[in-house]
Amino acid sequence: MERKRLVVSYNNVTEEVLEAIRMKYPLGYTNHVMKVKTQGDDFFYAITVDTDNASYLVKVPVKIDTKGSLNEEDTLGEIAEEKEAEDNFPEADTTETED
């Protein structure tokens, strides 16, 4: 007997599937997420997990950090200047006031 192959959102998984995810990814699934292309330019991110009855492709939410990405036009000097500007904190007011 062949297992069912199902696609389901992480928000809609059953307790059985959630437990299977915990067992397969005890340290979290962050490093196991794959990009799944659909028709056209659409895609989603997912992890795989199997139960006794079915194989699941579980859609998971992904937050992508684009702050550290480089553009082709950026030079190393511009990147260093941006980093330096981010690292500079405003000077603290060291003058004491009496109450």
Pair 90, 40: CB distance under 8 Å = no
Tokens in use for 23?
Answer: 């067992």
pLDDT of 19 strictly over 70: yes
Provide the pLDDT for residue 62: 85
Interval 57-78: pLDDT, tens: 999 998 876 666 555 555 555 5
More confident residue, 91 or 22: 22
Integer CA distances (angstroms), 3 to 12, 21, 53, in order? 20, 17, 6
Interval 22-38: pLDDT, tens: 999 999 998 999 999 99
Provide the pLDDT for residue 82: 54
